[in-house]
Amino acid sequence: MYFDILMVMSEIIEKEHEEMEEKVVEDLSQLELTSDSEHSSDDYSTTTPIKSKKFNTVGELKKEMSKLGLSLKGNKEELKKRYKKYIKKQEEKEKNMHKVIKKVQPFKYYCVIDYEATCEEGQAFVYPNEIIEFPAVLLRSYTGEVESEFHEYVKPKNNPVLTKYCKELTGITQEQVDGADYFPEVLKHFEAWLSQFSDFPYENVCFVTDGPWDIRDFIQKQCVASDIKRPVYFYSWLNLRKAFKYAFRLKNQKRLNEMLAHIGLTFEGREHCGLDDTRNIARIVQFLLENSVTLKKNIEYNRA
């Protein structure tokens, strides 16, 4: 997200909002594991384990692959390789399904969001940003696994033509936003997606962002541009930078790449691509969940 470039400037603004923020995560060394028995039984659904089979003929192999919906193109060795790759992938999924994090979190889901918005070089906060990419990654708190992803582009209403700077920074094309829906419609799609996992207004979901800007500023500007009310579920959320700082007892908040490096990871994908940014933020959340860091909402938007 392009606000990263002006982090120093934004921290001055953020300090004005800190009186609204509640206490955040405990330090790693102070945390205790909690029994996973507090989860409901439906959270631990099981499936029949996937096992590799032996085949006497190519016909038997093709028959099994057909049942699994696999392509039957190629020679015998190619078929065997494709089948083994499928089985290995299914075994890995099965393994992850039964991975349970012992620390019970205050929320069942963590929904990571990182918008991309219209922008112009050098204008920063004074620019009338409109959201043009709406990505979200939903994590289950007790496994840390990705439950689902949402991704749509958004057509800007007031400034429909993207600046050269915006296109180069985000990688988003004019054609992608021209073919997209306006924000109110995309927001409905997002709510329909999230409602598959949680009932509106998503009280068991904690929204997570890299810094305060996405929900504090982008959403507010977008609601004004679209002439709609701020969604009720976007009044409190988790600022990952602040949580990360507290968890590791750091002097200052770190940017996305710095947080990744701190836990031994590197950025995957294209920076300032909303979906790639969101996935990388989710990787940090997964690390904190797996290391039993309690993740609570730590920022609230002024309702006045």
Q: Tokens 């606000």 map to which residue?
A: 3
Distance of CA 206 to the CA centre of its chain: 11
Most confident range, picked from 32-36, 152-156, 266-270: 152-156
Q: Is 21 exposed, middle or buried (0-12, 13-18, 19+ CB in 10 A)?
A: middle
3-state DSSP call for residue 117? strand
Percent of the chain surpassing pLDDT 70:
79
Predicted confidence (pLDDT) at residue 43 exceeds the cutoff of 80:
no
Q: What is the reported pLDDT for 304?
A: 64
Looking at the fold, whether 223 and 288 belong to one and the same domain comes out as yes
As given in the structure block, the two tokens for residue 280 are: 């990388």
Query: For the segment 83-111, what is each residue's pLDDT rounded down to a tens digit?
Result: 888 888 777 766 654 556 667 899 999 99
Looking at the fold, whether 145 and 290 belong to one and the same domain comes out as yes
Q: How many domains does the chain have?
A: 2
Least confident range from 11-15, 77-81, 111-115, 258-262: namely: 11-15
Query: For the segment 190-236, what is each residue's pLDDT rounded down to a tens digit?
Result: 999 999 999 999 999 999 999 999 999 999 999 999 999 999 999 99
Report yes or no: 138 and 197 within 8 Å, Cβ to Cβ.
yes
Looking at the fold, whether 245 and 271 belong to one and the same domain comes out as yes
Looking at the fold, whether 92 and 110 belong to one and the same domain comes out as no
Q: Could you give the C-alpha distances from 187 to 77, 119, 142, 184, in angstroms and in order?
A: 47, 21, 27, 5
Amino acid at 77: E
Looking at the fold, whether 173 and 234 belong to one and the same domain comes out as yes
> Nearest CA to 30 among 245, 240, 248?
248
Is 272 annotated as catalytic? yes
Distance of CA 264 to the CA centre of its chain: 19
Is 116 annotated as catalytic? yes
Give dist(CA 16, CA 12) in Å, integer. Answer: 7
Give dist(CA 16, CA 204) in Å, integer. Answer: 28
Report yes or no: 21 and 242 within 8 Å, Cβ to Cβ.
yes
How many CA atoms lie within 13 Å of 211's alpha carbon, on the beta-carbon side? 27
Q: How many helices (H) and strands (E) does the chain have?
A: 11, 8
Looking at the fold, whether 93 and 78 belong to one and the same domain comes out as yes
Identified catalytic residue from 14, 130, 133, 272: 272
As given in the structure block, the two tokens for residue 103 are: 């620390």
pTM above 0.75, yes or no: no
Looking at the fold, whether 154 and 200 belong to one and the same domain comes out as yes
Structural domain boundaries enclosing 202: 2-38+104-300
Identified catalytic residue from 60, 64, 116, 300: 116
Tell me, what CATH number does 229's domain have?
A: 3.30.420.10
Give dist(CA 208, CA 137) in Å, integer. Answer: 10
Predicted confidence (pLDDT) at residue 32 exceeds the cutoff of 50:
no
Looking at the fold, whether 22 and 64 belong to one and the same domain comes out as no
Listing DSSP states for 90-114 in one string gives HHHHHHHHT---SSPPS-SEEEEE-
Looking at the fold, whether 156 and 209 belong to one and the same domain comes out as yes
- pLDDT grade for 52, boundaries at 50, 70 and 90: low
Predicted confidence (pLDDT) at residue 50 exceeds the cutoff of 60:
no
